Structure 1
Amino acid sequence: MKAVVVEHFGGLEEVKMADVPKPSPAKGEVLIRIRDAGVNPVDWKIGEGALKDKMPHEFPLILGWDAAGEIAEVGEGVKGFKVGDAVFAYCRKQVVRHGTFAEYIALDAKYAAIKPKSLNFAEAAAIPLVALTAWQSLFGFARLKEGDTCFISAGAGGVGSFAIQFAKWKKATVYTTASSNHHGYVKSLGADHVIDYNKEDFAEAIMKHEPQGLDVVYDCVGGSTLRASFPLVKKGGSLVSIVNFNVEELGKSYPIRTGFVFVAPNGEQLATIAGLIDQGAIKPAHTEELKLEEAVLALKKVKAGHTQGKIVLKVS
């Protein structure tokens, strides 16, 4: 099968098309014929070796962790799926090698879910990693609830766009940052207060509205944005980051809960999210579809940042 691989860590110049063996499903696995694969910042980071000390890798390494497609084969003992089912999944494995920038992937069946019926494959492929990240951060770690106030940085991004919607679904008050050309987009997702980080200090703007502090801060940016966010959280509140591994160390002097979330595959949560999408409670992210052969261009665009929504690769 054709796939986008790296044979050793390095820059985007190491990313190339290759012919690799087609996988077969083991016991408890399904083989997914991939129609579209989502592109995420972690993909170029994997290629550069940024996570080589966090998880084992093997080469040649197929990039990509998001997929939407159809069940091509069902392994022994699998229940709930049949050949031809349209599914989507976050496909990270314990050893990073077999990714989704390829025509097929064999995956533990419990990580897959039936694709939202209201979405096409491109829209569905843009969802798993970012939606699960937002879900597990806001509800798993931060325990966001109705009536809470929260700040979500980078609201127009892939994770931010779902985080805003999940927070509004829980009837929380949402503050977010976005450049002026993305204000209409994040407002359409439900953001109550949108701050242009190019024109004003987001922390000062939030404290004018919430002098008592926020219940939850969701950091999708890191760096100076994260450092300025700690004082925004009220005593006993939560700050969760998906960027800084050392967030607990940075926030230890504040009387708040801090934590880093690295998203885990979860088919049950994906099924719940699919239901919310089909009910109209959650809208898919704005999606730009490129060809699999344009993977390097897609990775360049994601690495440059400032994208609205998600980029996906059309595989078949």
Structure 2
Amino acid sequence: MAGSGYKDYFQVLGVERSADAGAIKRAFRKLARQYHPDVNPGDKAAEAKFKEVSEAYEVLSDPEKRRKYEQFGQYWNQAGGMGGGGVPGMDVDFGRYGNFDDFINDLLGRFGGPGGGSGFQGGGFPRGGQASRAPVNLDAEATVSVSFSEAFRGTERTLSVNDERVQVRIPAGVRNGSKLRLKEKGNLQPGTGRRGDLYLNLNVQSHPVWRLDGDQLRADLPVSIDELALGGTVSVMTPDGEAQVNVPAGTAPGRSLRLKGKGWPSRTGRGDLLLTLTLAFPKSWSAAEQQLLEQLRQSRSEDPRQAWMRSAAL
């Protein structure tokens, strides 16, 4: 039929030229039910109309054929259309199908390929209120990688799911391995309208400074020997910006300073931030620093290994 002359396939299906794949499929299914030979036994006009809407769907449901059809108009077939006229698979014995839904399911499968191009493998239409096949899991999974900062503050991502652009809001405080569920954004079962959910597995990238420990944020804070010995106020960076913390005099390396409510976000608030003090030696000492260290050695009042020596003796 396609080779015998130009047909306005959009008009045949009763859809706008801007109709998407879903609208085209719905229109075809409605008309196919209306003109199916089993519904109109002996009606040659209905059978011809059925073949016409099937031909229109075969062309418009195929992205490449539709592109050529829209580009070349009545000459689309010479530009590489169906190449022989007629609808593949239309010379069928309608009587071999148990019911109309079985036929439509088979037809959609032929035109659309496995899953009708929706990402779904398998499927079927309901028959008499009962599934004609075993229940099918239409849920889908995807992995989304986010930076440590995006996980802390929350972010938005635009994903392409079954040729559909989906805006996803990733809330603040997600953790590595967290899952987000997007209802009815999974695989689509052809012809039924059933759609599964989409589960996003979140991969939170590591950070060069911060480490997540429950609701607490941890980091090592480098301090100098004089800051440990004499104490003082030092500037530090937190996820909320720069802050000042007090290092008590005589603090030993390895002690942690706690900043309450400055940690990881959660549903109940925020955890704490823990800064573990580490002794940072300079790459080289100035002459003045070496002189002061020598004075310290001469003036030292305690042997740092005295208690250790007693405890280590066997």
Same fold, TM exceeding 0.5? no
Rg bigger for which structure? Answer: 2
The TM-score normalised by the length of structure 1 is: 0.19
The TM-score normalised by the length of structure 2 is: 0.20
Considering Cα pairs closer than 8 Å and 6+ residues apart, tell me whether 1 or 2 has the greater RCO.
1
